[in-house]
Amino acid sequence: MTDIAAIILAAGKGTRMKSNRAKVNFPIAGKTMLQRVVQTAQKAGCGKICVVVGYQMDQVMTSLIRSPKSECGEPEFSTPIVRSLKSEEGNRSGAGLSFVEQREQLGTGHAVQMAKQDFIDYQGDIFILCGDVPLLKAETLVNMYRRHGATGALATVLTAYLDDAGKYGRIIRDAGGMICGITEYKDATPEQRLIREFNTGIYCFNAFALFEALANIGNDNEQREYYLTDVIRILHDRESVVESVVLDDLMEASGVNSQEQLAELEDALYDSIRKHWLNNGVVIHNPASVVIGEDVMIGTDVEIGANCILEGRCQIGQNTFIGHNCLIHNAVIGTDCNLDGNSIVSNCNIPPGSHLHYRNDVISEANEGNRYER
């Protein structure tokens, strides 16, 4: 994709997390929620990513800069408000990463307005993403952008359906079936609250139309906030094209507001990873007890015992046996290896055909040789 950028909203504290840590800095399966959202934007082809920060902004920026897949280096401070991160070669996708501060939490519309100065000369389209929605897929954003471009829309909204959409904002459509507005739950009438289609909080906007409309929103609502959703009504009233894409997998749009919700999403993510490997020739004993990270690659006919953790960047060669209670971290294990139970293998390369005996810890580069006996 070309001429596409992203603004990620990550300024809130997350009071219901019952923690002093910024919500977007909580990890899910080894990466913070914000790291996941940034990487999704990168994979979707965003050439520019602006993160709106606020609560614990220094910690949030630092954790993102030090992300394993970020090569942005140390930040450069262009103004007291906007902080840019750009390496000579760019990060993994070539995306420029910048931060802008939202000092007061006055609503989603206000948060996006804070990023305007970072897009003064930008003439493309912008995704609006949420830093606490960690399982959104890049493929979903690509599909949104294709729909957005094919229809000539100035705004495209990612929507979904639930029999009871709870506290989500409701999608309002006109007689012709086009989106004419989004009503937040607290402002909705009893009839509107019965609507099954809801707003996921993910959008694609034409940049000029977005910021021009934002200049005309107010805070005359129940929460006295500047709603980004008001932009949809303004564009519809101007007879601009507002499109939508319906999301099938609701897990992608699930936001995190509590530790319980975070744990549920992490369980769902790990479960999907285990199912992938179970369907690709890997034996996993007591699957619910095994943790496999996203950056782990496993060959066919590998057997993994109960209570194992495989995390970081790992490669497991085919026909390898990993006994119960093993921890594998940032390691390459060759083919036809045998790891007895209760072993730790970290930051090393185990040659093919090696045998690690019971309760054996290897936490450095392995010696050359056909077998690894200790």
pLDDT digits (tens, 9 = 90+) for 93-109: 334 899 999 999 999 99
Query: Given the structure tokens 């840019």, which residue do they identify?
Result: 84
Task: Indicate if 36 belongs to the active site.
Answer: no
Which residue among the candidates 16, 103, 146, 359 is catalytic per the annotation? 16
Whole-angstrom distance, CA of residue 163 vs CA of residue 226: 28
Evaluate whether 4-253 and 280-362 have a shared fold: no
Is domain 280-362 given the CATH code 2.160.10.10 in the classification? yes
Query: What helix, strand, coil percent values describe the chain, rounded to 5?
Result: 25, 25, 45
- pLDDT value of position 3: 83
Running DSSP on this structure, what letter comes out for residue 26?
Answer: S
Q: With H, G, I as helix, E, B as strand and everything else as coil, classify residue 326.
A: coil
Taking residues 202-209, report their average pLDDT: 98
Nearest to 316 by CA among 325, 329, 306, 307: 329
Say what the pLDDT of residue 373 is.
53
Report d(CA 276, CA 302) in Å as an integer: 14
- The domains of the chain are located at 4-253, 280-362
Q: Give the pLDDT score at 15.
A: 92
For position 364, what pLDDT does the model report?
Answer: 67
User: What integer best gives the mean pLDDT of the chain?
Assistant: 90
Return the CATH superfamily for domain 4-253: Spore Coat Polysaccharide Biosynthesis Protein SpsA; Chain A (3.90.550.10)
**Whole-number pLDDT of residue 182:** 98
Nearest residue to 5 via CA among 55, 42, 53: 42
Instruction: Produce one character per residue of 187-215: b if its CB has 16 or more CB atoms within 10 Å, e if not.
Output: ebeeebeebebbbbbbbbbbbebbbebbe
> Which residues touch 140 (CB under 8 Å, ≥6 apart)?
158, 202, 245, 247, 252
Cβ burial of 232 (10 Å; 0-12, 13-18, 19+) is buried
CB atoms under 10 Å from CB of 118, counted, come to 23
Per-residue pLDDT at 25 exceeds 90: yes
Specify the pLDDT at position 362: 83
Q: What would the pLDDT profile of 327-371 be if each residue is shown by its tens digit?
A: 999 999 999 999 999 999 999 999 999 999 988 778 765 444 334
pLDDT tens digits for range 343-355? 999 999 999 999 9
pLDDT, residue 74, reads 38
Neighbours of 78 (CB within 10 A): 12
Give the pLDDT score at 68. Answer: 54
C-alpha of 229 from chain center: 21
